[in-house]
Structure formats: structure tokens, C-alpha cells
Amino acid sequence: MHTATLTRPLTYTAPPLTFAEAAERHLDDVFGYLLYLTRDRATADDLTGATFEKALRQWSRFDPRRGTARTWLLGIARTTALDSFRADSRRRKREEAAAEPEAREADFVEGLSPALQTALATLSVGEREVLALRIVIELDGDQTARVLGISPTAVSTRLSRALHKLEEKVRNDDLR
Amino acid sequence: MTSAELITELQATRPAADGVLRDRVRAIAATESVRRPSPFARLSRYSPRRFALVVLPATAVVLLAVAGIAGLLDSGSQPGGIEAINSDFSSRSPAVPGSAATTAQGKIAPNLEKGVAAADTAVPAPTSGRAERYSAQLTLSVNDIDALSAATQQALRITRDLGGYLVTASYATTDSGTSSLTLKVPTANVQQAIVRLSGLGKIVAQQVQIYDLQGQVDELTKRENALRLQIIRLSARLATTDLDAETRATLEVRRAAASSALAQVRGASAQVNAEARFATIALMMQTTQSSAAVPVPSRFDNAFGRAVEILAVEAMVVLYALVIVGPLALLALLGWLTRRALRRHQDAQLLSAQ
């Protein structure tokens, strides 16, 4: 009679993650991703703050069954960054149509070789973000696809292309 | 440098937020406890698609439930027409407690339990002291053939009890049954007869006609008296001896004619009096099956029918709303899709920039 009770598998339900815990745990991921996107620490700082402010407002909508807090926060970070880019683009168009894009930091990631920094600068934002998510933050293909809103195959293709381009740029710089 | 080396370097130099940014984010997170969660926080967790997946079936269930419950509640009453007829007559259904009820079949008895006072006022009474032709047609429904047979016998018994008699009778049964009786009942007892006969079943139709014969009776009486007087005078003259033969013959012819006329008037008078003395009651009884031209639907049928009616109304409302809101919703959807496509295009452009 008691055997059934004893053999029943024990289930452990983790207590729900608080926003503070999620922020503490994934701050570096969000910041790193935004840094690779913007290539500017100050902008990445601002966008990281904006991301967490927005995330706090939307925290009640977070459903752990639909994805991890990390992918959810990175998704918000991406939207925040794109909104910022869009606003910048509109501002530039409005103020000075022929103006050059604002200069970015040459060494936006500390410790990275100058050749790699330069090569990264030649990549598009889309290529840098897939590198950041898959290589730097080490999300898997499905999680990256979820953040970017594309298929895992597209993620794989985009990553492969970015790495190839990066490798080529670095090699060319070495030859020079 | 190979891809592997690139990856290793990128991972080794993973960026980290500095202390200032960390403090700033901690400060933002610290306001979490201060924020009061919205009462709709749980709802906002669901995407519109998931929300629709729950709301649409739930709405359909609610609409079905409303139709079902309303149908059940409405099914308690009989269909309008039949009920109106039954209630109309049942409220006037007269009966004499303790008379027919004691001898009639059980199925008939309940109708006889009703009070007679109300019935007396419902059936027009013959005018006392005046000769009237009183005729009534009464259509009753009884439950089944057994009840029809019992009611027929009981009708004859009531007629005899009240000093009346049967004129014609027709009794037929197959799956259903009908019994038609023409009864003569002393006018003095006709009201009681109708009351008691009405108690043999449920009244389906009732009609009473009263035609005043008093004028006719008075006229006949006057004529009879006049003829009688004429005959007396003629007889008195014929009794005298100074009449010549021709005059005597003429008077005798006139007296004979007056006597003949008197006989006719007496006959007519007797006929009118007989008519006034006995009322005619045409009693038609039929079983419920045959009398119910429209079968009475069951409670389930009523509930189902009502539920279908309500569902049809609900469907009309939904359809109407769709017709009105549909184009607007379609425009909104198109606008939203266009905006999303533009946004994606913009995103692609932004992401392709360096």
C-alpha cells in the first residue's frame, strides 16, 4: 500500500525567478550582446539600462514555460536596440541627410586583438549579433533563433557566413 | 587565424558590465517590490493567439449554455396556443363535487373537484318564468378510450338523473375515439346538466344559444283563447231554436273551422311549450389524441426548440457584428500587417548596416 507512495518520483518545482535575480544573472549577456550590436560601450550601457527598465515593466508577461529569462531579456534588448537604431536613422535623415554615421569605438571589446576588432567592425549589425549570441553569449541555435525571430537554419547560415567573413578579414589584415 | 581560434578569442574576451551599469540595473530591479502588480498581469502573460484559443471556445460554450439554460427554463410552459386554450377553458371548467365524481372514472374525477359556484356563473341560466329555446354545444376532451366510455355512460346517467333523455348517440373508437350525444334535459335543470357534463372532461369548446319563445307562447295563448271564445259563442247561437237551416249550417261550418284552428293552435302551443320545457345539449367528447390536432411536444422538445431559437438569435447577432466589425477588423489587420512588414524591412536595413 505504501510502496506506491515511496516509489512515486519526487518532483521539485523551482521557486519563480524574481526580476532582480534575472537581471543579476543575465546582465553581462545583455550588455555583451548590445555591445557587439552597437560597437560603443556608452550606447551599450544606455541600451542595457533601457532594456532592463522595459523588462521590469513587462516582467508580469514573462512566462517561463515559453522560454528562459535570458532569451526573453535578449529579445527585449534587441527590440530596444533596433528602436534606438531606427530613431538614430530618422534623426540623421532629418538633420543632415548626407552626414556620416557616428564614429564607433575602435576597441569596443576589451582584450580583443586589434585585427579582430577591425574585422568585427566590417561585419554588418546582423552578422555581429549572431556572433554575439551564438559565440560570445553561447546561446544554442534554437534560443538564438527565438531571439532573432528567424529559423535555426537561418541562424546557422548567418553564423557561418559571419565567421567566414571575419576569418577572411583577419587573414587579409595579417597578410598586409 | 582559423574559425576555431576566432571563436576561442571571442569567448575569452566576453564583455562584462562595469560596476556603474551593474549598480544602475540593480537600482532598476530594486523598484520591482515597489511596483504593484496589475490585476491583469496574469492575463497579459498570454499572447493574443493563446488568448483567442481560450476566449473563442469559452464564448461558444457560454453562448451554448445560455441557449440551453434559457431553453430549459422556457420549456416548463406548454406551447402558447394550446396552453391558452386549455387554461382559458380549464379556468371555467365546471363541476359538481360529490355527484358525478363519485361514479365517474378516476381520470375524470379530478375535473369534478372544481367548485360549482364559478361554473354556475359561467353557464347562462334560463330566464325563470319565460319560455325559451335553450340549446348548448359542448366539446370535451378525455384522456383515452376508457375515459371516453366512462364519460359517455356518465353523461347518460346525468341526463336521466335530471329528468332528461337521449335523442341521438354516436360512439366510435379506433386508435382514438369520439362520442357524440344529443341530449334533452328539462330547461329548469339545464344549467346543472351543463355543469355536470362539463366535469366529464376538459372543455375544448362550449356554446350556448338561448332563443326567447315567450312572444310565440303569448300569441298562441291569445289565439287559443279567442278561438275558444268564438267556439263558445258559436255553440251558444247554435243552441237557440230560431235559426233557419242555412244560418245553422253556416254557423256549424264556422264552429268546425274554429275547432280545427283551435286544435292547430293547441298543437303549436304544445310544441312550443315542449321546446321550452326541454333544452337540447349536443355533447361531443373525444380522446386527447384525436382532439389534439397539434401534438403537445415534450419538455425536451420544447427545451431543444427554444435552445435552437436562441442559438439562431445569437448566431444572427454574431453575424451582424461580423458584418459591421469585420471590414474594420480587416482594415486594422491589413494596417498591422503592413506596419509589421515595413518594420521588418527597416530592421533588415538596419541590421545590414555596419
B93-151 per-position pLDDT tens digit? 343 333 333 333 333 334 443 444 444 446 777 777 788 888 889 899 888 888 888 88
Q: Is the pLDDT of residue A11 over 60?
A: no
- What pLDDT was estimated at residue B336? 94
Chain B neighbors of A42, CB-CB under 8 A? none
Give mean pLDDT, residues B208-224.
Answer: 87
Is B32–A19 a contact, with Cβ atoms under 8 angstroms apart? Answer: yes
Q: What is the pLDDT of residue B170?
A: 86
Whole-number Å distance between alpha carbons of B205 and B86: 10
Query: Min CA distance, A155 vs chain B (Å)?
Result: 14
Residue B119 has what pLDDT?
47
Question: At A78, which amino acid appears?
Answer: R
Contact B353 A124 (CB under 8 A): yes
Q: Which residues of A touch B37 (CB under 8 A)?
A: 60
Point out the least confidently predicted range of B13-27, B231-245, B288-302: B288-302
Q: Region B218-224: what's the mean pLDDT?
A: 89
- B44 falls in which pLDDT band (50, 70, 90)? low
Chain B residues with CB-CB distance to A125 below 8 A: 350-354
- Our CA-based measurement puts residue B75 at a distance from the nearest CA of chain A, in whole angstroms, of 46
What local confidence, expressed as pLDDT, does residue A121 receive?
Answer: 87
Residues shown for chain B:
354
Question: Which chain B residues contact residue A146 at CB under 8 A?
Answer: none
What percentage of chain B reaches a pLDDT higher than 70?
A: 79
Contacts of B69 (CB under 8 A, 6+ apart): none
pLDDT for the residue numbered B102:
32
Tell me the mean pLDDT in the region A131-156.
92
Read off the pLDDT of each residue in A92-118 and give the average, rounded to a whole number: 73
Who among B2, B12, B29 is closest to A20 (CB)?
B29
Average pLDDT, rounded, for chain B: 78
The mean-pLDDT minimum among B208-217, B295-304, B316-325 falls in B295-304
Contact state of A49 with B20 under an 8 Å Cβ cutoff = no
Answer yes or no: is the ipTM higher than 0.90. no
| Distance to chain A for B326, nearest Cα, Å | 29
pLDDT recorded at residue A102: 58
Average pLDDT (B292-298) is: 58
Is the Cα dihedral B233, B236, B238, B243 positive or negative? negative
Do B3 and A111 count as a contact with CB atoms less than 8 A apart?
no
How far apart CA A33 and CA A81 sit, in angstroms, is 10
CB pairs under 8 A between A and B: 127
* Shortest Cα distance, chain A CAs vs residue B348, angstroms: 8
pLDDT score, position A103? 59
Substitution target in A52, A148, A156 with the highest count of B β-carbons within 10 Å is A52
Highest-confidence range of A98-107, B86-95, B333-342, by mean pLDDT?
B333-342
What is the distance in angstroms between the Cα of A152 and the nearest Cα belonging to chain B? 17
Q: What pLDDT, on a 0 to 100 scale, did the predictor assign at position A99?
A: 54
pLDDT band for position A157 (cuts 50, 70, 90): very high
| B202-213 confidence digits (pLDDT tens) | 888 888 888 888
- Integer Cα distance of B23 and B220 in angstroms: 128
**Residue A8 to residue B179: CA distance in whole angstroms:** 78
Task: Give me the pLDDT at residue A5, please.
Answer: 47
Q: Do B17 and A27 touch (CB under 8 A)?
A: yes
Please report the pLDDT score of residue B43 as a whole number: 64
Residue B85 confidence class, pLDDT cut points 50, 70, 90: very low
| DSSP 8-state secondary structure symbol assigned to residue B130 | S
Instruction: Choose between A103 and A82: higher pLDDT.
Output: A82
Amino acid letter for position A16: P
User: What's the whole-number mean pLDDT along residues B259-271?
Assistant: 89
Neighbouring CB atoms inside 10 A of B351's CB total 21
pLDDT of residue A56: 92
Q: For testing the chain A interface, which of B3, B6, B18, B33 should be mutated: the one with the most A CBs within 10 Å?
A: B6
pLDDT of B287: 85
Helices of type H across A1-151: 3-7, 19-38, 41-57, 69-95, 114-122, 125-131, 141-148
Q: Do B11 and A138 touch (CB under 8 A)?
A: yes
Q: Give the residue-averaged pLDDT of B307-316.
A: 87
B347 contacts in chain A (CB < 8 Å): 82
- Residue of chain A whose Cα is closest to the Cα of B8: A135
Q: Per residue in B152-197, pLDDT tens? A: 999 999 999 989 998 888 888 877 788 889 999 988 888 888 888 8
Range name among A22-31, B41-50, B53-62, B222-231 with the lowest pLDDT average? B41-50
Task: Give chain A positions within 8 Å (CB) of B42.
Answer: 60
> What local confidence, expressed as pLDDT, does residue A105 receive?
63
- Pick B346's closest partner by Cβ from A49, A86, A112: A86
Provide the pLDDT for residue B346.
85
Do the Cβ atoms of B189 and B162 come closer than 8 Å? yes
What the block records as the C-alpha cell of B79 is 406551447
Helix/strand/coil for A135: helix
Task: Kindly tell me if the per-residue pLDDT of A98 is higher than 60.
Answer: no
Between positions 311 and 350 of B, the ones with CB within 8 A of A are: 346-348, 350
B49 close to A (CB below 8 A)? no
Q: Which of A141-155, B233-247, B308-322 is predicted most confidently?
A: A141-155
Distance to chain B for A14, nearest Cα, Å: 19
In this complex, the residue of A31, A101, A121 whose CB is nearest that of residue B17 is A31
What pLDDT sits at residue B105?
Answer: 35
Mind giving me the DSSP string for A104-130?
PPTT-STT--HHHHHHHHHS-HHHHHH
Q: How far is CA A58 from CA A19, A76, B31, B38, B56, in A?
A: 10, 10, 13, 11, 25
Residue of A nearest to B47 (CA): A61
Over residues B329-342, the mean pLDDT reads 93
- In the sheet that holds B165-173, the strands lie side by side as B165-173, B177-186, B278-287, B132-142, B202-212
Confidence of residue B22 (pLDDT cuts 50, 70, 90): very high
Distance from the Cα of residue B255 to its chain's centroid: 66
Segment B283-305 shows an average pLDDT of 71
pLDDT > 80? residue A2: no
How many angstroms away from the CA of A144 is the closest CA of chain B? 15
| Residue B340 vs residue B37, higher pLDDT | B340
Q: How confident is the model at residue A26 (pLDDT cuts 50, 70, 90)?
A: very high
